[in-house]
Amino acid sequence: MRYSPAFLTALCLSLATLSAKAQMADRITEQPTPREASRQEVVAQTREMANRLHLNEGQYLQLLPLNRTRLSTLSGINREYRNDAATRAAKSAELEAQFEQECSRILTPSQLSQLQRDAQPATTPAGAGNGLG
């Protein structure tokens, strides 16, 4: 039996997606998800990443469940620790580190580097001053 190249490509992408979902399922079951992030929110964020990082279709499909988990977990952190800024910041940083680790399995080194640069907080331009004279 001969299969078309398009079929084989689709099959490979499907298998890669299922593998990524299975890996994430293990991590997801370890953490309760307080609320499911809206599909629109997840798709919008993943599209923005696709445009900014120049993702291919396989990478886009692998990042969708990662972004869903990240947004849902972040929402729970923000709700659970709304009165504890220090813990909220620590939990958020831990979540971002996990997200970055998962992304390192999907993105190329240059894409990962761009993601890390984009995640860094903006620095105050030289000469802008901080009001301390």
pLDDT per residue over 69-122, tens digit each?
999 999 999 999 999 999 999 999 999 999 999 999 999 999 999 999 988 765
pTM: 0.62
- What does the domain layout of the chain look like in residue ranges? 17-114
Average pLDDT, the chain: 80
pLDDT at 102: 96
DSSP the chain: ----HHHHHHHHHHHHHHHHHHHHHHHHHHS--SSPPPHHHHHHHHHHHHHHHT--HHHHHHHHHHHHHHHHHHHHHHHHTTT-HHHHHHHHHHHHHHHHHHHHTTS-HHHHHHHHHHHSPPPPPTTS--S--
Residue 99: closest CA among 3, 24, 10 = 24
